[in-house]
Amino acid sequence: MRILSGIQPSGAFHLGNYFGMMRKMIEYQENHELFCFIANLHAMTTVSDGQYLAEQTLDAATTFIALGLDPERCTFWVQSDVKEVSLLTWILTNFTPLGLLERCHSFKDKVAKGISPHSGLFIYPVLMAADILLYQSEKVPVGKDQKQHLEVSRDIALKFNNEYGQVFQIPEPEINEDVAVVPGIDGQKMSKSYNNTIEIFTEKKQLKKKVMSIVTDSKTVEEPKDPDNCNLFALYNLFHQQEEIDGLRKKYLAGGLGYGEVKKQLLEDIWEYFAPYREKKKELMENKDKVREILKEGAEKARTIAVETMKQVSQKVGITY
């Protein structure tokens, strides 16, 4: 089964990205044909500082490898290194009814927030369709927020196939219902855009500051507490086995436990959990050329499939002569 997904390098990766997407992708490489890429072209819709985007792209790739993605066992590349994706995007725009894009929530939300949208934001889902269809992906694991974009990809593929015969594999979404949304330090969904993240790789002092600022209610140490409505408890769960989770639940309900104590534990948990990966990342960052080389090789591997697809597409639409 060919599985494909991408992640935008629009800022440092956080616990939500890791538990919601990256860890799952790393597991897939064991038993599936995995295609995974850094979506730097998508990030351009929100990042306009070129130097920052370039740095974040390399950092994102390094982070993924440090966390266990193995470029020997999957195909891992930077989106813009396979130029065919831009050509396919243009071709697909001609199979994308305007109304399909006008209905996309992510676009409508931005407009509702008063952001003056450029066309890049509008055709974002077409670029995403090109990512998916170029590599003939069978399954695409995404968060709930991307479900509609997957439907757009399927619609475009069906429209194209309808016109020209079977060219594209119709991708199936895999919506991760079982992965709970990781809360940020303010209790909303952890997200780069809400400024409430706990980064995977950060200095311990900075990590401590973040963990200590996790918002809780103002119950005293003695008072019993509600584990089911507590961000801190939800974050603790990510790092512990069921038995320990049950233990903490009991302590919450009994009272006599302060949030400060749980925060101290969580700080150590996060620090310990990522310790080996932190070392690996440091090593890789000292050898950036090696990472660049891995990414170039990944792009070559991805391109072999892309070129095959584009041969067919170009012939069908008549841009070969």
Please report whether residue 133 would count as binding ligand TRP according to CB under 6 A.
Answer: no
Task: Reduce the DSSP state of residue 35 to 3 states and report it.
Answer: strand
Task: Give the Cα separation of 59 and 317 in Å (integer).
Answer: 38
- H or E segment to which residue 161 belongs: helix 147-164
Please report whether residue 74 would count as binding ligand TRP according to CB under 6 A.
Answer: no
Q: Which is nearer to ligand ADP, 142 or 266 (CB)?
A: 142
Q: 118: which residues sit within 8 A by CB, 6+ positions away?
A: 45
Residue 16 binds which entry of ligand TRP, ligand ADP, none, CB below 5-8 Å type-dependent? ligand ADP
Please report whether residue 88 would count as binding ligand TRP according to CB under 6 A.
Answer: no
The interface region with ligand TRP, picked from 95-103, 125-133, 253-261, 274-282 by CB under 6 A, is 125-133
Q: 320: which residues sit within 8 A by CB, 6+ positions away?
A: 314
Task: Give the Cα separation of 187 and 165 in Å (integer).
Answer: 49
- 281 catalytic per annotation: no
Q: Which is nearer to ligand TRP, 197 or 237 (CB)?
A: 197
- Is the Cβ–Cβ distance between 273 and 265 less than 8 Å? no
Task: Give the Cα separation of 15 and 269 in Å (integer).
Answer: 12
Please report whether residue 8 would count as binding ligand TRP according to CB under 6 A.
Answer: yes
33: which DSSP letter?
Answer: E
Please report whether residue 270 would count as binding ligand TRP according to CB under 6 A.
Answer: no
Q: Which is nearer to ligand ADP, 82 or 182 (CB)?
A: 182
Residue 140 binds which entry of ligand TRP, ligand ADP, none, CB below 5-8 Å type-dependent? ligand TRP
- 209 catalytic per annotation: no
Site string for ligand TRP, 21-50 (x = CB under 6 A): ------------------x--x--------
Q: 283: which residues sit within 8 A by CB, 6+ positions away?
A: none
Residues binding ligand TRP: number (CB under 6 A): 13
Beta strands in the chain (DSSP E): 2-7, 33-38, 75-78, 139-142, 172-175
Compute the half-sphere exposure of residue 233: CA atoms within 13 Å on the CB side of its CA.
20
Active-site annotation holder among 24, 139, 189, 251: 189
Active-site annotation holder among 192, 225, 263, 281: 192
Phi, psi angles (nearest 5°) of residue 139: -130, 140
**Residue with smallest beta-carbon separation from ligand ADP:** 20
Please report whether residue 131 would count as binding ligand TRP according to CB under 6 A.
Answer: yes
The CA-based dihedral angle spanning residues 82, 84, 85, 86, taken in that order and rounded to the nearest 10 degrees: 110
Question: Which residue in 123, 126, 130, 127 sits closest to 167, CA to CA?
Answer: 130
Looking at 3, 6, 36, 274, which residue binds ligand TRP (CB under 6 A)?
6
Closest distance of CB 315 from ligand ADP, Å: 34
Closest distance of CB 308 from ligand ADP, Å: 27
- 311 catalytic per annotation: no
Which spans of this chain sit near ligand ADP (rule: CB under 6 A)? 7-8, 16-17, 20-21, 142-143, 179, 181-182, 189-193
Looking at 142, 157, 185, 232, which residue binds ligand TRP (CB under 6 A)?
142
Q: 298: which residues sit within 8 A by CB, 6+ positions away?
A: 71, 75, 76, 77, 78, 81
Looking at 26, 60, 140, 294, which residue binds ligand TRP (CB under 6 A)?
140
Which residues sit at the interface with ligand TRP, rule CB under 6 A? 4-8, 39, 42, 128, 131-132, 140, 142, 146
Catalytic residues: 110, 189, 192
